[in-house]
Amino acid sequence: MEENNVDNDINHGCHSSIRSPTMELTPVQEVVPNQKEPDLEINEWRQMAEVVDRFFFFMFVVFLIIPTSTILGIVRLFKPEL
């Protein structure tokens, strides 16, 4: 009597640790996602990060050079000659 209950439980999926020899297994290729797709996504984010890094680098250079040259130019104009 107990064996029938176990067989019913297996067929209904209640006991996942017990496998029936008649159960079909799915191929691993269908279960595991394609590994190339995440690599493409990582490369896209890496390219985006490079663009953003370059943008902020050039903004830093511009905000550094323009005020520096302006301050040095203005100070030079108003410097008393000795």
Tell me: the pLDDT tens digits for 12-51?
555 555 556 666 766 655 555 555 667 888 899 999 999 9
pLDDT at residue 66, rounded to an integer: 93
Residue 82 lies in a domain: no
pTM for this model (two decimals): 0.45
Domain assignment present for residue 14? The answer is yes
Give the integer Cα–Cα distance in Å for 50 and 75.
37
**What pLDDT does residue 45 have?**
93
Question: Taken in order 53, 59, 62, 65, is the CA torsion positive or negative?
Answer: negative
Instruction: Provide the domain count of the chain.
Output: 1
Domain contains 36: yes
Radius of gyration of the chain (CA): 35
The band of 68, judged by pLDDT with boundaries at 50, 70 and 90, is: very high
49: containing domain? 2-77
User: In angstroms, rounded to a whole number, what is the distance separating the alpha carbons of residues 52 and 61?
Assistant: 14
Residue 48 CA: distances (Å) to CA of 12, 14, 16, 24, 55: 49, 48, 44, 44, 11
